[in-house]
Amino acid sequence: MNGGLEWVELTVFAALFVLVTVLGFVAARWKAGNTLDHLDEWGLGGRKFGSWITWFLVGGDLYTAYTFVAVPALVFGAGALGFYALPYTVVLYPIVFLPLVRMWSVSRVHGYVTPADFVRGRYGSRILALLIALTGIVATMPYIALQLVGLEAVLRTMGLNGSGLLGHLPLFIAFLILALYTYQSGLRAPALIAFVKDALIYVVILVAVFYLPAKFGGWSSIFDRSAELLAQPGANGNPKGSIVLSATNQLQYATLALGSALALFLYPHSLTGILASKGRRVIKRNMVALPAYSLLLGLLALLGYVALVAGVKPITNEATGRADSNTIVPELFNQQFPSWFAGIAFAAIGIGALVPAAIMSIAAANLWTRNIYKEYLKKDASPAQEAKQAKLASLVVKFGAVAFIVFVDPQFSIDLQLIGGVMILQTLPAVAIALYTRWFHVWGLVAGWVVGMGWGLYLLYTIPNPAANKAHFGGSALTLDKISLFGWHPFAGSSTQIYVGAVAVVANLVVAVVVTLIARRARVFNGTDQTDPDDYHVDENSDRLKPVASH
Amino acid sequence: MPSAPPRQADSGARRSGLRWNAWNLLLLVPLLMLITSWFNLDQPRLLGMPFFYWYQFAFVPVGVICVGLVYLKTRDEPVRTDQPDRLGVDDLDEGGKA
């Protein structure tokens, strides 16, 4: 179905797209505060979202279009390893349950908008705060670009698969619209659209996971057939994968799930959704309710096997000339569903790209405004100037992401997102651990960041991927044998694989501890703590909260 | 001494910002699903799904129950609703309804 346009699908898609566009613009007036000229309002929706809105907003933020196309694509290509997304999103909530409410409280007392704001207040260190802000921005940018990959996969499946610049035009238009209503409505736009996105996603996935397996003879035969197909040799002569883990990738599976879970709420956009909520109770309830999406994601991952059995062929991206495995789920829907339902499914994925892209660009804009613009460029910026700056930054960020997709191989943004996960994990000691203790010295944290970042990037650089014919940045699975500490190989001969981020964050922590001990012994000044121990427990209705949208 | 000692702002006696509750230990239970060797098996299957998959699906409710119990058992002091908020009522009361 590569040739013509799919008119029915396109019509359904366009109708739903118009609906969310209207919602996006109307959102500016939804639960409006006194002014939109303040980051609390534009960037955090007035800090008053209740449990339901937060559930849709954070759900729409964490479970993105890219997740919905990439996870099944991973299962399609490698089997069980791709299923790591389920344990990742199950261990996530118990891990972040306690730290997040502390983050909410301290941010609410001091008016923090970004994680770097918190670090600035906790350690009084401009350098550390700048490092955290830059890490956040750099890690978020490719993530936004990836949402475009998800959107484009859908557009190309519907026949909008032109080559060259023209091929990117539909994507460009979609993003222009998104950029405009985000500019106008701020976080309220994705919050409102998330309702539509999630409703569509739930309908589509539930239909898909019950209808499709029945069509292909039930799960039992799907798994058996998948096992046979995955056992065939791939590009490097080894089997492509298996339906259970192999001896060498179990550690990779567990550390990838754990590392991804630790990293997720360090991303500025995840924190944006949390800080926009009304109180601690809202966050806690959401930690209980959000796994509903995990269930969905797990079921969706299994569609990778259905696509394998259905013999789906990834569509060749006319812009790059290569087969794009991210098209397998859209292509599966295209083959197996009537056009009108496929149109709904594509709209679900497409709108699923807009929600997180909007939140991510807002989060990156907040970081830019609060931690670079106000900190270094215009120290006396008024709240209105901050809001203006953030709105402009959100436009720049989005068009940067589009330029990324248009002028750079999409594969590069996938690589960058992989790198981004390892990078954001390096802010764990300064952001997450600092919520509990100020034991780490500020220079220990800086040194740990430098080492973790440097070593993590180096290790990623050294990983080849023969299947994709790449010498560098071929994945996040590091063979233990390759770990070298100044020439010493502690795990020589081991073929077990591990997630690079886990290795880098351990190095980060070790260095942070050592430098902390030295700095404490030398009595180096450790910055000024603006926060009070009680700040971490303050709840809504307390008189210690900083009024929303005040100076 | 009838009166409490003055709060020391910057010394070893500084109040700890941590509040411990034994129920929090339940949050560790879902982490057990990271021990892959316990479930990296094809058999027994459930509804045609290998053990590897349905075992992990089963951890979704386990996680929900653990986090939910911690939420219920560690609820902070009830939020006071009987008296008006002392700050920015106009700003905050819109948030009163989700």
User: Which domains does chain A carry?
Assistant: 7-27+39-528 (1.20.1730.10)
Residue B49 belongs to some domain of the structure: yes
B36:A83 CB<8 A: no
Q: How far is A245 from chain B (nearest CA, A)?
A: 6
Q: Decide: helix, strand or coil at residue A324.
A: strand
Pairwise CA distance, residues A309 & B65, whole Å = 35
Per-residue pLDDT tens over the stretch A129-187: 999 999 999 898 888 888 887 788 788 888 777 776 777 788 888 888 889 989 989 99
Pairwise CA distance, residues A411 & A418, whole Å = 11
Q: How far is A265 from chain B (nearest CA, A)?
A: 17
Q: How far is A141 from chain B (nearest CA, A)?
A: 30
B40:A49 CB<8 A: no
Within the 201-220 window of chain A, which residues sit less than 8 Å (CB to CB) from chain B? Answer: 218-220
Q: Residue B83: CB partners within 8 Å, gap ≥ 6?
A: none
Per-residue pLDDT tens over the stretch A71-130: 898 899 889 998 999 999 999 999 999 999 999 999 999 999 999 999 999 999 999 999
Q: Which residue, among A413, A389, A411, has the nearest Cα to A401 in the 3D structure?
A: A413
B67:A94 CB<8 A: yes
Pairwise CA distance, residues A135 & A127, whole Å = 12
Pairwise CA distance, residues A21 & A14, whole Å = 10
Residue B32 belongs to some domain of the structure: yes
Q: What range does the domain containing B61 cover? A: 21-74
Residue B30 belongs to some domain of the structure: yes
pTM of the entire predicted model: 0.88
Can you give the pLDDT at residue B8? 39
Residue B91 belongs to some domain of the structure: no
Pairwise CA distance, residues A528 & A526, whole Å = 7
Single-letter residue type at A117 = D
DSSP classification of residue A2: -
Within the 430-489 window of chain A, which residues sit less than 8 Å (CB to CB) from chain B? Answer: 436
Single-letter residue type at A369 = T
Q: Is the dihedral of CA A349, A350, A351, A353 positive or negative?
A: positive
Within the 91-150 window of chain A, which residues sit less than 8 Å (CB to CB) from chain B? Answer: 91, 93-95, 97-98
Residue B1 belongs to some domain of the structure: no
Please tell me which of the candidates B19, B35, B92 has its beta carbon nearest to residue A537. B19
Can you give the pLDDT at residue A491? 83
Asked if A300 reaches chain B (Cβ–Cβ under 8 Å), the answer is no
Pairwise CA distance, residues A132 & A118, whole Å = 10
Q: Residue A121: CB partners within 8 Å, gap ≥ 6?
A: A106, A110, A112, A529, A530, A531
Q: How many domains does chain B have?
A: 1
Residue B34 pLDDT level (bands cut at 50, 70, 90): very high
Q: Work out the mean pLDDT of chain A and round it to a whole number.
A: 88
Is pLDDT at A436 greater than 80 in this prediction?
yes
DSSP classification of residue B20: -
Q: Which residue has the tokens 């220079």?
A: A443
Within the 27-46 window of chain B, which residues sit less than 8 Å (CB to CB) from chain A? Answer: 27-31, 33-37, 40-42, 45
Residue A551 pLDDT level (bands cut at 50, 70, 90): low
Residue B96 belongs to some domain of the structure: no
Can you give the pLDDT at residue A159? 79
Can you give the pLDDT at residue A320? 65
Please tell me which of the candidates A83, A87, A243 has its beta carbon nearest to residue B42. A243
> Could you tell me what percent of chain A has a pLDDT over 70?
95
Asked if A232 reaches chain B (Cβ–Cβ under 8 Å), the answer is no
Pairing mode, strands A497-499 and A322-324:
unpaired
